[in-house]
């Protein structure tokens, strides 16, 4: 019997829509290039005074309302972001008082684009051992504040969007629905294929950050696009197949596949590699771009609210991110 299930979801997108033609004003690129390489046509960007926790609040409130509980019923908060409000302490501590929560445990995780799956896996364990009844998992990103339009940075900057998504994980009430299994993996040998070098303590000096870090671009994302693309396709495909094997299922048994919305071309390759029917795959990357960890919970909420996911469906979540880290989750709706 599943120990837990997702009992509520919510998301929030900042109102400002940024098209590829707007991106052309930020850097040297074209609409044709962006669409051809990524499939992205627009994304949402937050205003300058908006932080990750500002986006997280309405997403969390929507998820709690959808779960049919009160915010006071939440007894653990898990937050994932790579765009925190401040360098430290963890971003969840800044979110907690905005939600009116006190005295409950707050856990920050840095699992990049797999944050939702890692978060619900952690929540599942706390619920299974009786420690918690309702765990709120939220992923929020303000990636527009990390855009670098230089030659070295634009391969990832053309993708970036802002948003937040949340899920409430509660107790499963019977065998008919719930979180069936989660598959978690990481391989740090690929970490420098997508990373930000500074600030950091591995730079061989006593200074935490220097002007030359900005001048050299060390404060910005740097991505080896070929390695990230190839690993994203192979790792996400493998995580789906591993979950199927672990649960004695085939692709025909999966009703809905929701992948991390990294890049439309990556998703097309995964669909081709797996041989899954396109009408089973939820895709929204063309409208929202790559929102890192926020992609998956936003997509999950939209799939639930539009009835792309129907009661009784077997749903597979799968994601891949920098680290490298990849994961899948099988759920019965």
What tokens does 331 get? Answer: 């759920």
Verify cis geometry, omega within 30 degrees of 0, for the bond prior to 307.
Answer: no
Determine how β-strand 42-44 pairs with β-strand 106-109. unpaired
Question: Which residues, including other chains, have CB under 8 Å from residue 76's CB and lie 6 or more apart?
Answer: 104, 105, 106, 107, 123, 126, 131, 132, 134, 135, 136
Query: CA torsion 98→101→107→108, rounded to 10°?
Result: 0
Encoding tokens for residue 168? 């409430």
C-beta separation of 329 from 182 below 8 A: yes
Pairing of strands 135-142, 76-80: parallel
Task: Spell out a b/e string for 45-77, using b for 16 or more CB atoms within 10 Å of the CB, else e.
Answer: bbeeebbbbbbbbebbbbbbebbebeeeebbbb
Q: Among all residues, which ones are annotated catalytic? A: 113
Contact 39, 229 (CB under 8 A): no
């Amino acid at each position: 019997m599943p120990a837990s299930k997702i009992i509520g979801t919510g998301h929030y997108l900042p109102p400002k829509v940024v098209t590829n033609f707007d991106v052309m004003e930020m850097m040297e690129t074209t609409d044709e290039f962006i669409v051809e390489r990524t499939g992205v046509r627009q994304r949402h960007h937050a205003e300058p005074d908006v932080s990750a926790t500002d986006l997280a609040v309405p997403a969390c409130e929507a998820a709690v309302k959808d779960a049919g509980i009160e915010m006071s019923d939440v007894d653990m908060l898990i937050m994932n972001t790579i765009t925190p409000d401040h360098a430290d302490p963890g971003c969840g501590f800044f979110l907690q008082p905005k939600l009116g929560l006190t005295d409950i445990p707050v856990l920050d995780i840095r699992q990049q684009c797999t944050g939702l799956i890692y978060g619900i896996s952690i929540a599942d364990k706390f619920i299974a051992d009786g420690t918690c009844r309702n765990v709120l998992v939220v992923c929020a990103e303000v990636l527009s504040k990390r855009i670098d339009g230089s030659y070295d940075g634009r391969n990832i900057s053309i993708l970036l969007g802002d948003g937040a998504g949340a899920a409430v994980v509660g107790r499963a009430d019977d065998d008919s629905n719930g979180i069936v299994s989660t598959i978690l993996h990481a391989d740090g040998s690929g970490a420098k294929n997508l990373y930000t070098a500074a600030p950091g303590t591995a730079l061989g000096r006593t200074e935490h950050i220097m002007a030359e870090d900005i001048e050299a671009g060390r404060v910005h994302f740097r991505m080896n696009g070929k390695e990230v693309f190839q690993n994203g396709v192979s790792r996400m495909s493998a995580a789906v197949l591993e979950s199927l094997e672990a649960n004695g299922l085939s692709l025909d048994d999966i009703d809905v596949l929701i992948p991390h919305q990294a890049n439309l071309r990556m998703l097309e390759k995964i669909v081709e590699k797996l041989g899954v029917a396109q009408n089973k795959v939820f895709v929204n990357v063309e409208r929202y771009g790559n929102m890192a960890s926020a992609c998956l919970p936003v997509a999950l909420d939209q799939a639930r609210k539009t009835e792309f996911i129907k009661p009784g469906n077997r749903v597979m979540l799968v994601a891949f991110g920098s680290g490298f880290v990849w994961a899948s989750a099988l759920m019965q709706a």
